[in-house]
Every structure is written in C-alpha cells, then in structure tokens.
Chain A
Amino acid sequence: DAGITQSPRYKITETGRQVTLMCHQTWSHSYMFWYRQDLGHGLRLIYYSAAADITDKGEVPDGYVVSRSKTENFPLTLESATRSQTSVYFCASSDLGVLAGGETQYFGPGTRLLVL
C-alpha cells in the first residue's frame, strides 16, 4: 500500500530487551522523523534523517538508535528498553521540494509500546 506504515502497531516488552520499531514510506521522501508522544509532553522529536545514511539527533535521543540504509526505511531501535520509554511512537516523512509544499510532514499510524 502507498503511504507510510509502521510495524508493529502494538508491542509489549520487558525492561532490558532490545526492540526495533519499523517505518516504511513509499513516496521516496528525503526526510524521515521519529517522534514519541506522551501525555503532558505532546510530540517530541527523537531522531531525524535528511537522506539515506544521514541521521541526526532530535530533542530526546538518549536510549535510541536509528539507521537509514535505504531511503524508504527508517528503523528505530531501543537498545535496552526502560519503563520510561513506554510511549506511542510516530514515524513521519517529508519531501523538501518547496514547490510541493515540502515542509508538510506525513505521519504513520503509530506504534504503542509498553515496557514492563
């Protein structure tokens, strides 16, 4: 299906385990983003990527790792999950072409992660 997808949609894990959240987009957008959404904090940027093999930290990167070997995929890994990483995670993408309204971000449906 066209668009931006995330998997899994729901995940329960235990403290200390490694977890990888997947994000895939079919638009060949240059930019991709990972956010977490928590009550009282709104959306906070974890990491973003300007292109394949180019990534940078956002506001809350500690405890997370990202990679972008292909333009369409942007996985987020929690190396050793902690309870404070229980959250809803959203992936987004954007195309920086100004004529196409490039600043708009397109969001996936989210992954709900519970760390026990």
Chain B
Amino acid sequence: SQQGEEDPQALSIQEGENATMNCSYKTSINNLQWYRQNSGRGLVHLILIRSNEREKHSGRLRVTLDTSKKSSSLLITASRAADTASYFCATGGAYSGAGSYQLTFGKGTKLSVIP
C-alpha cells in the first residue's frame, strides 16, 4: 500500500510563479525524500529531509516536514518551463536489519509550467 499521498494530483502554473506540492503519510518515518520524473525518464532525487529536521533548502527548492501532522511540502520558487515534470514524495522507514530498508513512493503530482 502507498505510504505517501501527494496533493494536488496535477498543478498548472505560469512561469515565474511558485509551485507548492504536499505529501501526507501514515506511519512514523526515518526520512522523507522528493524525486522528480520527467516524461519518459527515470526518477531523479531532489532532496532528503530527516525526521528530526523541519525545513531544508536546495537552490529553488524548499521542503518542510511536520511529523506531528505527518505531512511535508515541496515549494519550487520562480518556476521555469523546465520544471515541468511529475514530483513524488517517498518515505523511508527506520533501519531494522539488512532486509528492511525500503522507500515507499506516492502517486505523484504532475506539474505543468506554462511559458
């Protein structure tokens, strides 16, 4: 079953605007990650935030994590047409031996940035 659920499923904005995507999850996590997938390509890691962190920045990306609400948000500032892609959150559980480390992915938010 899916752990993370992104919201909205699709988002269309004008170039230069900010894009915000949200992710909710159900069980306790070790870390939460965001990945991007361009059409027809594999996923690319964007940013990782650990359960003891509240906010993290990387270039135009800002990620927040609220473990009390079991939610995270990804903000892309000053969006560009090249940001058009699907964005996935992935949650990682606690380490508990060689067989247990996995990421669980949500269904993604499809972002369209209109030039």
Contact = CB atoms under 8 A, between A and B. Distances in A.
Contacts of A116: none
Secondary structure at the A interface, as helix, strand, loop or mixed, is strand
Contacts of B25: none
A40 B101 contact: no
Measured as residues with beta carbon below 8 angstroms from the partner, the interface class of chain A is: 20 to 34
Interface stretch (B13-21, B42-50, B56-64, B73-81): B42-50
Interface stretch (A14-22, A46-54, A61-69, A71-79): A46-54
Given A90-B42, A96-B101, A107-B43, A43 B48 contact: no
Measured as residues with beta carbon below 8 angstroms from the partner, the interface class of chain B is: 20 to 34
A45 B99 CA distance: 14
Nearest to B45: A104
Nearest to A54: B98
Interface of A: 31, 33, 35, 40-45, 48, 50-51, 54, 56, 58-59, 90, 92, 96, 101, 103-110
Given A40-B107, A103-B92, A109-B42, 11 more contacts: A31-B101, A42-B107, A43-B43, A50-B98, A54-B99, A90-B43, A104-B45, A105-B43, A105-B45, A108-B42, A110-B42
